[in-house]
A and B are shown apart, each in its own frame.
Chain A
Amino acid sequence: METSVVLIEPLIAFTSVTKRFGPRVVLSSLDLNIPHGQKLAIIGPSGSGKSTILRILMTLETIESGSVRVGNEYLWRGHSPTSIRADESTTSTIRRRIGMVFQQFNLFPHMTVLQNVSAAPIKVLRKPKDTALRNARDLLAKVGLSDKIDAYPGFLSGGQQQRVAIARALAMNPEILLLDEVTSALDPELVGEVLNVIRLLAHESALTIVMVTHQMGFAREFADRVCFIENGEIVEDAAPAQFFEAPTNKRTRDFLRAVINA
């Protein structure tokens, strides 16, 4: 507890993390440190384990070996034969610090936009209802959806739903925001509105953001750091300018060429 005033760096640390789905190795002995306030973009071919990194952090996935630390708490502690997961209370403390936006939005269809954004602050953070609703309205104004607060998600476009999902994640005041291919399920003309919201957020907050994306242009403009992952390993890890202009690894060059020519 006495260490809580000290900023533990890096904020997030994956140390030789291995994750398997059956016989398939999704992450193999992955090391990844993410400092406070960093905007990290993770790119790579599908099935390379990018989303798994986010899902492990969000406590949605287990790992086989290695350790995962967030702040001064271990979500997973390296152990033989398999890593040990933190107890329920530590897990929920870690969870509180993290918010996540999903590819498929995962909004609650039976709640209005306003209820979607205010439900967890009321139920989990035990905020007074009027405070939570005011906060939700402010956030929805920020993502440009003030006119949709009473609509149900099923009646919104994909881009609008995703902006609600971003507001919903932010309503919990996370320190870390995970964006899992947030534009992949959108029609091309709706991608821009979602990226604009993320840009806006990034500029005015000290949020640590980890995003998995296929939007190369956005990664380059938005991120402080880009990691290329293939077959569960980090192949390239560099600042965006270096990453896109002079990647050192041949596999990165091949991937970038394939994506840009697509």
Chain B
Amino acid sequence: MFELSFALSILPKLLSAALTTLFVTFASFLLSLLLGVPLALLRRTRFVFISTITTVIVDFIRCTPLLVQLFFFYFALPGFGIRISAIGTGLLAFSLHYGCYMSEVYRAGLDAVPRGQWDACTALCLSRAQSYFSVILPQAVASVIPAAGVYLIHMFKETPLLASISVVEIMFVSSEIGANTFRYLEPITLCGLLFLLMSIFAAALIRVVEKIYGKRWRRVWS
């Protein structure tokens, strides 16, 4: 049965592995937020060639499993002489994969900005870049935050995939402990609990950001 003293004895190991999970999740979340912007803008450009290519790439990445991408980067790329550390591979694959999802989120956010805002930008002679960065994007972000938050929690729950390329994160450490001690109940239960805690924390964080962003200018619709 569940043995508390054993659970406590492995907790420090799991906690330090949890730091890796937190790091990979938040770092690749931030990278995917950054990557999503140019992807969304490229998909909206008037140059059909560029927007088509971007659409194809984004759809390709979104429609192939993250695990396949991880294996490709980690096991197939060295064949071309490109060698990336396990954790680097994790960051790369996660930010690329979720950057594509994020670009869709931004696209929806950009579409939600009323047409009249563009008219006003034109009437004031703002360039397209000025319009995007000082008028359209700041408004789009407001509607992007909740959807981005959903992906953040998704990303947390997908990080166990990294165990398969031997990144020392919680899932990897838990199963290692299980394999060495033949006790799986405690490490896997703790692993699940830690994920629960981290996801709750992430959800709360997003709710705070949602409240704060644009607090001064967004009217509260009650």
Interface string of A31-43 (1 = CB under 8 A from B): 0000000000000
Identify which of A103-111, A127-135, A224-232 touches chain B.
Answer: A103-111
Q: Is the CB of A59 within 8 A of B122?
A: yes
Task: Answer yes or no: B45 CB below 8 A from chain A CBs.
Answer: no
B-to-A contact residues, CB < 8 Å = 114, 116-117, 119-120, 122-126, 130, 134-135, 138-139, 214, 216-219
In the complex, whether A53 has a CB less than 8 A from a CB of chain B is no
Taken residue by residue from 105 to 133, chain A's Cβ proximity to chain B (1 for < 8 Å, 0 otherwise) reads as 01111110000000110011000000000
Would you call the interface of chain B mostly helix, strand, loop, or mixed? Answer: helix
With both chains docked as a complex, state the minimum distance between the C-beta of B137 and any C-beta of chain A, in angstroms.
10
* Contact digits for A164-182, partner B, Cβ 8 Å, 1 yes 0 no: 0000110010000000000
When distances are taken between beta carbons in the complex, the residues of chain B under 8 Å from A96 are: 125
Which residues of chain A come closer than 8 Å to B214, judged between CB atoms? 110
Q: Which listed residue, A111, A123, A154, touches B126 by the CB 8 Å rule?
A: A123
A residues with a Cβ closer than 8 A to B are 58-60, 92, 95-96, 98-100, 102, 104, 106-111, 119-120, 123-124, 152-155, 168-169, 172
Listed A/B pairs (7) with beta-carbon separation below 8 Å:
A100-B123, A106-B117, A109-B217, A110-B214, A120-B125, A152-B216, A154-B219
Q: How far is the CA of A96 from the CA of B123 in the complex (A)?
A: 8
Chain B positions within 8 Å of A59 at CB level: 122
Please give, as numbers and ranges, the residues of chain B lying within 8 Å of A109 by CB-CB distance. Answer: 139, 217-218
Residue in B closest to A123 when the chains form the complex, CB atoms? B130
Given A102-B116, A155-B219, A124-B124 contact (CB < 8 Å): yes
A106 vs B126: C-alpha distance when bound (angstroms): 14
Could you tell me if A106 and B216 are in contact, using CB atoms closer than 8 angstroms?
A: no
